[in-house]
Structure 1
Amino acid sequence: MNKIICLFFTFLLIQSIFPYEKQKDGLIFQFKKTNETDLHLLKVQLIADNIVRIVSTPLNSFSNQKSLIIEKSDWNFSKWEEKENDNFVEILTSKLTIKINKENGKVSFFDKTGNLLLNEHANVSKIFTPAEVMGEKTFHIQQIFDSPEDEAFYGLGAHQNGVMNYKGHDVDLWQYNIVDVIPFLVSSKNYGILWDNYSRTKFGDIRDYQSINKVFTLYDAGNPGGLKAEYFTDENFKNLYTTQIESKIEHEHIDVNDPYPTGFNENVKAVRWSGELETNDSGVYKLRLYCSGYTKMWIDDSLIVDSWRQNWLPWTHFYNIETKPGQRHKIKIEWIHSGGYIGLRALSPSELDYKKLLSLYSDVGEQIDYYFIYGQNLDEVISGYRKLTGKVPMMPKWAMGLWQCRERYKTQDELISIVKEFRKRKIPLDNIVQDWFYWKEDQWGSHEFDKDRYPDPERMVKELHEKYHTRIMISVWPKFYVGTKHFDEFKKNGWLYMRNVEVGQKDWVGPGYVSTFYDPYSEGARKLYWNQINKKLFSLGFDAWWLDSTEPDLQSNLSFNEWLLRIGPTALGTSARYLNTYSLMNSKAVYEGQRKTKPNQRVFILTRSAFAGQQKYSAATWSGDVAARWFDLKNQIPAGLNFSLSGIPYWTTDIGGFAVEPRFENPTEKDLDEWRELNTRWFQFGAFCPLFRVHGQYPYREMFNIAPENHPAYQSMLKYDKLRYRLMPYIYSLTGMVTHKDYTIMRALIMDFGYDKNVLNISDQFMFGPSLLINPVTEYKARQRKVYLPAGYGWYDFHTGKFFDGGQTIIANAPYEDLPIFVKEGSIIPFGPEIQYSDEKPANPIRLYIYTGKDASFTLYEDENINYNYEKGLYSTIEFIYKESDKTLTIEKRSGSFPGMLKNRIFEIVYVSKEKPEIIDFQKDPDFKVNYNGKKVIIKLNNN
């Protein structure tokens, strides 16, 4: 094939000054090369009228490696035409014009009216840098586009630095416990870029952070050479152990670490670094502080970091200093270490102004390969992403209810007793989670329960199902201890990563055991993995899978290069090349295995990592082992919003935070008050995430273990739990929209109000479905907060019914028991009856709250909740349409049916207007009551 292409181009060179080959779905261009790294081949492939694939390479042929995220290769799209002029070749569809510069291969994208959407950078756009990575000759690749200053970027997975709009920021895309990587970004200009590369990828500045002494001149008390480092024997920075001058701070990893003073581990509790930083050039200098333990950092006497992180999971803080040559900036860092890690690195100003660019870079690749997706709005862009990478199956309805979890339930009796207590107290619940270590201590990977603690797990599952109407999710890792039967089964086939075993790395359990992970890039390994967990767990009746540690986090706190060695080589190639896709392949193993084993039971998977395309495997993701702090609560909001904008709709967080500061384990009265309020605010937020899940280390996270029944914390959590279940018709209909219409449940304001430039950077508000504006409270003792009400709509206070005009910022009440919620005018919200679990009884009656002021519509979706019969068309929809002009509500004729469908039902109608504010009250008589039998009904609403 490559020889044929070369011969074809040779013929074209004779016939034409500018050679290109027309194919049924696009064009292939050939450019003359002067240097090894010059662009040689460019492919423009039409996927749909709004989706274009661009592939470019300096080599003589395109890569034949199969994409892991795009399974389809022939899209059969032929509704396009080409035009050629002196400077460009144009490709036209009904929605796009793509222009290719004949001289240099630069590509530009325009909408059908000729408005420029995106164009490659004028000077340098496609960069191929020869490289050798893990012994493989390859290229570092970079694609650069121009970007206007008013453009905003979102997506790229979930990250934990509190950033909503990534314009002007740098994002390092490699999987980490609290980071989820999806190489898909969307623009406020209503397009998206899906970057088909699996290696370490960077958005923005591509340079690695440097030792601080390579970027700054360091001073101690005016003397150049380093910062003063003071080591203390107490946590109050009073009793000095030793002092020295240090030219850098790099204590970041197990295997690569600067030495501490002699006696550090035995004597030192805290360290203070202080001095000054001086620069040689003008511009913006970047600092990256990486730390665990309690850490504070001041720049010019301003406190910019006040952090706590668990020792085994440090995290980063970024700060920019705008400075001039010779200007000095004071710096002070105080660190209470408790055995963890810390490092400070920096970057000098970049030659490229990334605030005016869109740049994507990857460590390993023979070609640049990306998809441009255009839409009238971001929902259409995300729909294009799912067209490429896979649609989202229906999740089981029970997954939309409350999940209770802790790290961890230790016995069968303990787990059952927790569910029993929920039912006794009438706290709605659908799912209990069995976290790790249900096996015997030295048997990780056996997937067998410790019979001393779990004497009859099959009976436990059956009792949960039949007596307590509760589902159970089981934690399964890709990890295997040396000596277990399952380890040996993988090893004999060569399906394990062996370096961890070879170096004898022990984990943290008991005396420590040597382990490793299996290689899911092998089809045989995936099948074996499923067979093992099917035989040992799924056959017992477990309902869902918690696939933990899928970064894969084989050993925390290793340097990046050593970590690469531990997690490969894979069956497909080096770990550097396939770095970010472990979770995708592991999810594939479980999804495909279960669908073959029980074809009509919906798969549900929860993972700690994600990658593009993972949504097609019924995989949801949570934000990892975040800390139980207000800082982390606040960061969950933009993390979840950007994850949702990345095309994967089901996301959740550990309500309350996973890792707990020591002060909360044995709290004073003051600390206990804060602990309860933190959990309450997190719970209120979690009730409006796509998935509603409580989890964390000690203290225990059940609401009755957080506070007594008469405490406002308990009362608020119970209230929002019950509200979630009342909203089940609304929420489950949203899941139907996800599957059938490519909808997104947790919605950054840019999705619905992109015309309002005030929403571009809002990181702490979001829409839950089309109607509810959610405004979490993320500050201790806050009893009000600023809320921006987007322009173009009026807004009703959910709690009072009071109407507010849009396009303004208000100070909203936020009492302990409630977070501010507003309803968009022109909304229809269906509420169901009070229930204790999702399928306790049919959703009848349904109370429809109509928020008037604009036209409104909502489609009620229902099916059998737990199977795949909807794929055969067995589901029903009922559309509600409100017309403001004549104040009528139309309940349309039911469409579709399914076994067990409720054929006759009652709709209770409450309308809300400026003149008729209404609170949510299910005891009050409705304005109208309609007996519905599936036929169209029209109701004239009395607006007097």
Structure 2
Amino acid sequence: MDVEVQFYSSQIVRILKSPLGSKFKKESLSVIKTPEKVAFSINQNGDLLFIRSANVKVDLNLKNGQVSFNTPNNQLFLNETLLGSAFTECNDAGLKSYIVSQSFTLNKDENIYGLGQQQRGKLSLRNVKLNMVQGNTDDYVPLLVSTKGYGLFWDNYSPTVFEDKSDSTFFRSDIGDCIDYYVMYGDNADGVIAQMRDLTGQAPMFPLWTYGFWQSKERYKSQNELVGVVKKYRELGVPLDGIIQDWQYWGNNYLWNAMEFLNTEFPEPKKMIDDIHNMNAHLIISIWSSFGPQTKQFREMEPKGMLLNFGTWPQSGLETWPPNREYPSGVQPYDPFNPEARDIYWKYLNKGLFSLGIDGWWMDSTEPDHLDFKPSDFDLKTYLGSFRKVRNAFPLMAVGGVSDHQRGVSSDKRVFILTRSAFAGQQRFGANTWSGDVNSSWQSLRNQIPAGLNFSLSGIPYWNTDIGGFFAGSYNRGWNDGTGAKNPLYQELYVRWLQFGTFTPMMRSHGTDVPREIYNFGKKGEPIFDAIEKSINLRYSLLPYIYSTAWSVTKGQSTIMRALMMDFDDKNVADLNNEYMFGKSFLVAPIVTAQYTPETVIKTDENSGWNKNEKKDNKTVAVDFTQPKSAKTYLPAGTTWFDFWTNTKYNGGQEITLATSIDKMPLFVKAGSIIPFGPAVQFATEKKWDKLEIRVYEGANGEFSLYEDENDNYNYEKGIYSTITFKWDDKSKTLTIADRKGTFPGMLAERKFHVVKIAANGNKTEKDVVYKGKKVSVK
């Protein structure tokens, strides 16, 4: 075989292998980096070639093609197995191709993470086999991150098997002209993610309002209902920034995804959008990767061969369950690999929705749904070859098409896309991926934490879930109001899921069967209502912290949801799947088991979940949600911790038992943290940040940069923003607020900071500081 070694930087090495003399042209869909000019040396000793850059040493065996990777001081960190490369000739829709595989040897004591999002409930990928084909609740991003400080990106888009066994770890893809993978040495997980973003694109900023609270359901059936939800939140004084319109605003299924308000229940869409904007809220709307046969898009794309004729959602033109196959919907996915098809997609999206003032896109089924699968479906032709060849990159191209086109017509409104699927490089397109139509159950809630952490470790920092789970129908049966929102079994699950959702990159309540708006759960003064409101208000108080953390993602390649192994050298956290860091300061330990109600086992999926006639009743019980409870939390070693609620200090490296309640889950702050808290607001931009509380937790030195800009538009890319850096010196008990850097229109020239120091004994010391942009020290 032919072997090619390419240095993209001194830390990123690409390995290309192909059958001897074969000719091919590989242009990556994920990788956008142009190789840098890298200084490296080459030495040879017999059959071994040693290629060394400043950060990575590559050893290539010229006799058998085996490649190994070492640190500059000759510490082996990754090794191909002997004769571990394989090419098996195959037929790909009439063209000669290969099944390609490559195996590696891993150390027994290293842990590996990433590969996108899986609903396995586990964090570590050791001893795991995955059939990597994009699905509703599983997203595959072929990046592995190791505790040994390296990343391995397998650049292939066809269905792929990953398996880690005791003797080897391998990737095997259905189609490939070549074996193509990148090894990144970053020293730690943050370093690897920084290299992956350097290779596949940086994550842009979202608007500030996207970090507020989102309300949604399947589905609001009229514009009056949609606008009425926002009105109700404003009347109740419960903060809200985003509302989402789900499907069928276009009418029947033959008009699927027409991108127009053809449903007569939405007679004045422009007025509806204006009404929402006038209440200082934002609207995003459901769009799909497929079209019904009566839509303009279908009629324009079909003659040009831009549709993929396989079974997708919905399967019937009638709104019935199960689908009536005698009236097939005729809906077909489009070919997002075709640039002209992406142009047509945006043309109708821009005319029918963006021009009305829609604020963002809910791109559903971006994997896309592939129902009634037949092997011959993979032979369908796309612009870039067989569907088999490019299957897993579908979401990257679909999301990228919308993002690139919106950026091309507007710099005033940042791209915001909520999407159900993802592939390597998607972080560059302003997209936040949600975990699909997951079940409303405690086990499903437990699964979300490691799913989100592995997804984040795949280099894509923005992820969320349907708070409360999507399929909640089993909670309706046997409950007297028929909605399930007053069923204590569901109320407890929803509150705990919401508390978890408060500490994810997007806080979004959504699902079917049980309405999710806060007023369905009760009223102010009742335990469940108050617990929901408390979490929403906490989220809004953290907006300065969250927005500044988002800037560290864009500017510094950081990650928001952080597996504990990213920050702590503690073997007890290597596979801990129910705790994580939110930014660099908060240790989040969601309560993921029922404490007040029986934990019922509920199993549904994206097919059975739609069956509203399932004959199962939940036996409801009288529940007192005011009773105190307790939960165990492990505190990572290497630092001390403060209980967020009580300010009690604990040493790391131990499991503790904490008092909890329905409105409180275990939440800790790392010693040395500096956290800005914002004002009480009804929406994200209601009040300026002129009187922020700056909370300092003593016990270690600390630093935090407060980031501010115009909250929307892309002027920050031109340097139009400001940062204020706070440094805490624990020995001298001094907080230094540095000179402000940068400026932007509307920036506060003068403000007050209310500094609160949390001492080791839990006591507070408070001081007000007038800040005019120049360095101030607070003793």
Work out whether the TM-score is over 0.5.
Answer: yes
CA contact (8 A) 1:382 1:647 kept: yes
**3-state secondary structure, aligned to 2:516:** coil
In the aligned structure 2, how far is the partner of 1:775 from the partner of 1:134?
49
Deviation at 1:560, TM superposition (A): 5.6
Task: Pick the aligned partner of 1:605 from 401, 414, 417.
Answer: 417
CA contact (8 A) 2:128 2:163 kept: yes
2:32 equivalent to 1:77: no
Deviation at 1:666, TM superposition (A): 5.0
Query: SS at 1:736's partner residue?
Result: helix
Partner of 1:114: 74
Q: Distance in 2 between matches of 1:179 and 1:741?
A: 28
- Residue 151, structure 1, aligned to residue 110, structure 2: yes
Residue 767 (1) aligns with residue 560 (2): no
Q: Please tell me whether the aligned partners of residues 648 and 761 of structure 2 are also in contact (alpha carbons under 8 angstroms).
A: no
Instruction: For residue 146 of structure 1, report the CA deviation from its aligned partner.
Output: 0.8
| 1:817, distance to aligned residue in structure 2 (A) | 1.2
Counterpart code for 2:129: D
SS of corresponding position for 1:577 = helix
Q: Does the 8 A contact of 1:832 with 1:844 survive in 2?
A: no
Q: Closer, same or farther in 2 for the Cα pair 1:125/1:507, shift >3 Å?
A: farther
Quick check: 1:747–1:767 contact (8 Å CA) kept in 2? Answer: yes
1:860 aligns to 2:703 (yes or no): no
- Counterpart CA distance in 2 for 1:507 and 1:612 is 34
Residue 25 of structure 2 corresponds to 64
Contact 1:178–1:623 (CA under 8 A) maintained in structure 2: yes
Alignment of 1:366-515 (within 5 A): 366-441=177-252, 442-450=254-262, 452-466=264-278, 468-499=279-310, 506=316, 509=319, 512=327, 513-515=329-331
- 2:38/2:53 contact within 8 Å kept: no
Per the alignment, residue 618 of structure 2 pairs with none
AA aligned opposite 1:837: F
The aligned amino acid for 1:414 is: E
Residue type of the alignment partner of 1:561: P
Determine if contact 2:311/2:373 at 8 Å carries over to the other structure.
no
Deviation at 1:128, TM superposition (A): 1.6
Contact kept, 8 Å, 2:297 with 2:344, in 1: the verdict is: no
SS of equivalent to 1:372: strand
Shift of 1:481: 1.4
Provide the rounded CA distance (Å) in 2 between the counterparts of 1:458 and 1:355. 60
The amino acid across from 1:749 in the alignment is L
Counterpart amino acid of 2:540? Y
Cα displacement string for residues 222-274 of structure 1 (whole angstroms, at most 9, x for unaligned residues): xxxxxxxxxxxxxxxxxxxxxxxxxxxxxxxxxxxxxxxxxxxxxxxxxxxxx
Q: 1:548–1:607: 8 Å Cα contact kept in structure 2?
A: yes
Q: Paired residue for 1:932?
A: 771
Q: 2:376 and 2:267 mapped to 1: Cα distance?
A: 41
For residue 171 of structure 1, report the CA deviation from its aligned partner: 1.6
Distance 1:374 1:79, change over 3 A: same
Match of 1:581, SS?
helix
Deviations 1:776-801 (A, max 9, x none): 11111163332111111011111111
Aligned to 2:501: 686
Equivalent residue number for residue 602 of structure 2: none
Match of 2:492 among 677, 684, 688: 677
The worse-fitting range, judged by mean Cα deviation, of 658-667 and 192-201 is 658-667
**Is 1:724 the counterpart of 2:539 in the alignment?**
yes
The alignment yields a C-alpha RMSD, in angstroms, of 1.8
Identity %: 43
Shift of 1:665: 4.8
TM-aligned CA distance change 1:504 to 1:385, over 3 Å: closer
Matched residue type, 1:68:
L
- Classify 1:743/1:508 alpha carbon distance in 2 versus 1 (closer, same or farther; 3 Å): farther
- Tell me by how many angstroms 1:500 deviates: 5.1
- Structure having the larger proportion of residues in strand: 1
* One-letter code aligned to 1:890: T
Contact 1:665 1:699 in 2 (8 A): no
**1:504, CA displacement in angstroms?**
12
- 8 Å CA contact retained: 1:627, 1:659: yes
Q: Is 1:596 aligned to 2:408, yes or no?
A: yes
The structure-2 alpha-carbon separation of the partners of 1:451 and 1:147, relative to structure 1 and needing over 3 Å to count, comes to closer
Matched, 1:520 2:331: no
Distance 1:508 1:614 in 2: 34
Residues 644 and 560 of structure 1, relative CA distance in 2, 3 Å threshold: farther
Tell me: CA distance 1:465–1:613, structure 2 relative to 1, closer, same or farther (3 Å): same
Q: Deviation per CA, 1:458-506: give whole Å up to 9, x if none.
A: 111111112x1000001011221113322111112221113559x9963
Distance in 1 between residues matched to 2:454 and 2:438, nearest whole Å: 17
**C-alpha distance in structure 2 between counterparts of 1:137 and 1:504, whole Å:** 35
Is the contact between residue 163 and residue 763 of structure 1 (CA under 8 Å) also seen in structure 2?
A: yes
Listed as ranges, the matches of 1:113-512 within 5 Å are 113-121=73-81, 123-204=82-163, 354-441=165-252, 442-450=254-262, 452-466=264-278, 468-499=279-310, 506=316, 509=319, 512=327
Q: Deviations over 1:859-891 (max 9, x none)?
A: 101111110001101011000000112111100
Deviates more, 1:587-596 or 1:681-690: 587-596
Partners in 2 of 1:135 and 1:632 — Cα distance?
Answer: 42
| Separation (CA, whole Å) in 2 of partners of 1:852 and 1:409 | 48
Counterpart for residue 105 of structure 1: 65
* C-alpha distance in 2 between matches for 1:451 and 1:477: 17
Q: Whole-Å Cα distance in 1 between the matches of residues 420 and 168 of structure 2?
A: 31
Return the alpha-carbon distance in structure 1 between the equivalents of residues 574 and 716 of structure 2: 37
Match of 1:890 among 736, 740, 749: 736
SS at match of 1:639: helix
Which SS does the other structure have where 2:658 is aligned? Answer: strand
Tell me the residue number matched to 2:528.
713
Identify if the C-alpha distance between structure 1 residues 436 and 93 changes in structure 2 by more than 3 Å, giving closer, same or farther: same
The residue aligned with 2:352 is: 536
Q: Deviations over 1:886-911 (max 9, x none)?
A: 11110000011111111111111111
> Tell me, which stretches of 5 or more residues in structure 2 are unaligned?
597-628
> How far does residue 580 in structure 1 lie from its aligned partner after superposition?
0.6
Paired with 2:91 and 2:23, the residues of 1 have a C-alpha distance of: 19
Question: How big is the shift at 1:827?
Answer: 0.6
Judged with a 3 Å threshold, the aligned counterparts in structure 2 of structure 1 residues 472 and 665 are, in CA distance, closer, same or farther, namely farther
Q: What letter is aligned with 1:54?
A: I
> Please, which runs of 5 or more residues in structure 1 have no aligned partner?
1-39, 206-353, 919-925
Whether 2:447 is the aligned partner of 1:635: answer yes
Q: Distance in 1 between matches of 2:214 and 2:315?
A: 34
TM-score norm. by structure 1 comes to 0.76
CA–CA separation in structure 2 for the residues paired with 1:862 and 1:729: 8
Match of 2:726 in 1: 880
Distance of 2:522 and 2:685 partners within structure 1: 28
1:360 Cα shift? 1.4
* 1:87 CA displacement: 3.8
Q: With structure 2 as the length reference, what TM-score do the two structures score? A: 0.92
Pairs within 5 Å for 1:896-911? 896-911=742-757
Contact in 2 for aligned 1:777/1:814 (Cα 8 Å): no
Q: Which residue of 2 aligns with 1:53?
A: 14
Q: Report the CA distance between 1:148 and its aligned residue.
A: 1.3
Alignment deviations for residues 175-203 of structure 1 (CA, whole Å, 9 cap, x no partner): 11001111111011111011110001121
Give the 3 Å change call, closer, same or farther, for CA 763–560 of structure 1 in structure 2. farther
* Residues 917, 796 of structure 1: alpha-carbon distance in 2 compared, 3 angstrom cutoff: farther
The CA distance in 2 between the partners of 1:477 and 1:141, in whole Å, is 32
Q: Which amino acid is 2:212 matched to?
A: G
CA distance in 2: counterparts of 1:532 and 1:602, whole angstroms: 20
Give distance in 2, aligned partners of 1:437 and 1:771.
42
d(CA) in 1 for partners of 2:121, 2:693: 38
Q: How far did 1:365 drift?
A: 0.7
CA distance in 2, matches of 1:500, 1:87: 52
Shift of 1:100: 1.0
